[in-house]
Amino acid sequence: MSERNTIAIVDQRSASASSAALPRIPDTITLPSGLLSDGLGRPLRDLRISVTDRCNFRCSYCMPKEVFDKNHQFLPQSALLSFEEILRLAQIFVAHGVHKIRLTGGEPLLRKHLERLIEMLSAVRTPDGTPLDITLTTNGSVLARKAAALKAAGLNRVTVSLDAMDDTIFRRMNDVDFPVADVLAGIDAAVAAGLGPIKVNMVVKRGTNEQEILPMARYFRDHYDGHVILRFIEYMDVGATNGWRMDEVMPSAEVQRLLDLHFPLEALDPSQSGETAERWRYRDGRGEVGFISSVTQAFCGDCSRARLSTEGQLYLCLFAQQGYDLRSLLRQPHPTGRPYTDDDIAAAVGLIWQERDDRYSQLRASQPASSSASGRRIEMSYIGG
Ligand code: SAM
Ligand code: SF4
Ligand code: SF4
């Protein structure tokens, strides 16, 4: 294994988190117009909120056991944003134009009473009075128990991660010996609860689970009558702990060619701008598949996503090296001694977004195929996928 295309296995999450910048409040406060755009003309439409940094899985590409072991210090409860704090920030982001919120983690369903947060968010309205689109990404381990309550609380849709149909391969990939059958039961419960269209995310890692591409496609074509959309995700060099190597990335184009040989495909138009997945459908009408190709095909051009970490740091890109400490504006007083108002915080967020020029994947695409930018990057389990 060459050193050039390998990222060292170290945990740099805490260092990155503690170096978050204090947001600047502009001298003149302008109220949100819902029309915010960044330095590259991209609007703010999507907010991903990580509700916990903990997880009951140890997927090697995300929270490898060697790093996230029994000595790993997860965040204390007091560091986490409370539901009230999350709601307050969500309302500010909605005033700026966000209309979709995705709850993620770590494993979001491990956050106690998450249904209560969903209920609170589902009461929020965009400036034109529309309810938010509230979704959640989960490993599915406790979804069978929770799907109905999540739906009742106001969750619209769910995305479930599953990397293999083969039980041995899946147990090895989650590295906690968790069985496929329980995740499938979670997907069934989500379908029954009406949390569709359900997306299933499969990270394809060459040498680990590429033999599962066809079994996964076959299963989701055959079982759900087009109600479950399988999406193939390129293994990404996110964070600093997964020992990422370019030769373990299976480009989406290759996955698509393989799939097309067995189940002929045709391209679909993207449903909306800012969409991460390229959409295809089976020519025989048995549903849709997606490809998320952040390594081989950058989609930064219309990236309208902001990420809020578990402890309230705002990140402008999945690969950002630094966040902005919004929690301090919620918990600490203004230098004059008064609390920060919503207008102060909204103005700070507006300024941060206006100055945004992140486009990591696009820049990486112009570098040699084996390279990954160096520097401290935040873990996926901390800011969510
Ligand atoms: N625990 C939940 C789950 O697994 O669905 C939510 C958080 S997880 C960080 C969100 C998504 O990121 C999952 O679909 C996971 O497969 C994906 N992911 C994590 N690390 C990745 C990597 N290195 N490359 C590509 N996708 C990754
Ligand atoms: Fe946990 Fe999701 Fe990361 Fe797997 S991908 S370790 S389930 S947070
Ligand atoms: Fe958005 Fe950053 Fe991903 Fe580009 S690399 S699509 S800017 S999150």
Structure tokens at 360: 């990591």
Closest ligand 2 atom to residue 139 Cα is: 7
Distance 25 CA to ligand 2 centre (A): 35
Residue 1 lies in a domain: no
pLDDT of residue 376: 55
Residue 155 lies in a domain: yes
pLDDT of residue 294: 85
Identify which ligand lies nearest to the alpha carbon of 202. 1
Distance 108 CA to ligand 1 centre (A): 12
Indicate the pLDDT class of residue 69, thresholds 50, 70 and 90: very high
Indicate the pLDDT class of residue 160, thresholds 50, 70 and 90: very high
The percentage of residues in the chain with a pLDDT greater than 70, rounded to a whole number, is 90
Range of the domain at 89: 12-383
pLDDT at 383 over 90: no
Residue 5 lies in a domain: no
Residue 342 lies in a domain: yes
CA distance 207 to 194: 36
Ligand 3 within 6 A of CB of 315: no
Structure tokens at 253: 């184009």
Residue 220 lies in a domain: yes
Element (H, E) at 122: helix 114-122
Residue 185 lies in a domain: yes
pLDDT of residue 213: 98
- pTM of structure: 0.93
- For the chain, how many structural domains are there in total? 1
Which residues lie with the beta carbon below 6 Å from any ligand 1 atom? 55, 61-62, 104-105, 107, 137-139, 161, 201, 203, 233, 235-236, 238, 242, 380-381, 384-385
Type of residue found at 235? Y
Q: Whose CA is nearest to atom 4 of ligand 3?
A: 300
Please say whether the beta carbons of 117 and 159 come within 8 A: no
Distance 212 CA to ligand 3 centre (A): 27
Name residues whose C-beta falls within 8 Å of residue 116's C-beta, 6 or more positions apart in sequence: 83, 153
Mean pLDDT of the 141-153 span: 98
**What is the CATH classification number for the domain harbouring 373?**
3.20.20.70
Distance 46 CA to ligand 3 centre (A): 12
Across the chain, what does the average pLDDT equal?
90
pLDDT at 57 over 80: yes
Q: Whose CA is nearest to atom 7 of ligand 3?
A: 359
Structure tokens at 283: 């020519």
Residue 6 lies in a domain: no
Distance 260 CA to ligand 2 centre (A): 29
Residue 24 lies in a domain: yes
* Per-residue model confidence as pLDDT tens digits over 191-215: 999 998 999 999 999 999 999 999 9
* Per-residue model confidence as pLDDT tens digits over 330-371: 999 999 999 999 999 999 999 999 999 988 888 877 775 555
* Per-residue model confidence as pLDDT tens digits over 298-332: 789 999 999 999 999 999 999 888 999 999 999 99
Distance 11 CA to ligand 2 centre (A): 15
pLDDT of residue 6: 39
